[in-house]
Amino acid sequence: MPPFIRTIPKDKFDMMSFREGQSKTPECKSVGCVIGHCTVLDPNPLPRNRFSRISFYEWSENFTGLAKFGHEWRWCFDSNWVDTDNTPNGAALRIEWLLNHGLPKDWYEQMNGFNPLCYKP
């Protein structure tokens, strides 16, 4: 997932919003957050209509294995990152950090800009 995330153009990336649109293909070309863009990696992506039986959060939980709104999920995908590190590279680095080191003890403080980011020198 992180190599793909780094290919997302900055103007198509925003931690504040999911990918929007009603396209029948995953390449909807709208602005969205990291987990929203990752729908293209799923061979059976989330249906893009409001009558779908699966919610976006349920899809993300199934796709990532992270409990929706759990600490690890929030470290990777929370909209609070919009003011701290709203970049595709930062999102990729957070996911890599979680995979390689686990969740930082001060993840919440980092996400909200109170502590320095552990993944940036």
* CA proximity to 71, closest of 105, 96, 36, 120: 105
pLDDT of residue 113: 96
Tokens at 14, concatenated: 């925003």
Look up the pTM and report it: 0.79
Residue 51: is it exposed, middle or buried by C-beta count within 10 angstroms (0-12/13-18/19+)?
Answer: exposed
Q: What confidence tier does 50 reach under pLDDT thresholds 50, 70, 90?
A: low
Find the radius of gyration of the CA atoms of the chain: 14
pLDDT of residue 60: 84
Spatial separation of the C-alpha atoms in residues 54 and 29, rounded to whole Å: 22
Q: What is the pLDDT of residues 16-44, one digit of tens each?
A: 876 655 444 555 555 678 887 787 788 87
pLDDT of residue 22: 45
pLDDT of residue 16: 85
